[in-house]
Amino acid sequence: MPIDMNSPLWAVLADWIKVLLTLPDPAPESLARLNDVAILTAISALSDRLSPEIGNELRASLPSVTARLTAAA
What integer pLDDT is reported at residue 37 of this predicted model? 75
User: What's the average model confidence in pLDDT over 19-37?
Assistant: 74
Q: What pLDDT band is residue 1 in, cutting at 50, 70 and 90?
A: low
What integer pLDDT is reported at residue 31 of this predicted model? 73
Any domain includes 56: yes
Angle (nearest 5°) at CA 65 between 44 and 2: 15
**pTM tops 0.85, yes or no:** no
pLDDT in tens, 31-63: 777 777 777 777 777 777 777 887 788 778 778
Any domain includes 12: no
Any domain includes 5: no
What integer pLDDT is reported at residue 53 of this predicted model? 84
Q: How many independent structural domains does the chain possess?
A: 1
Neighbouring residues of 65: CB distance < 8 A, sequence distance ≥ 6: 40
Domain that holds residue 43: 25-72
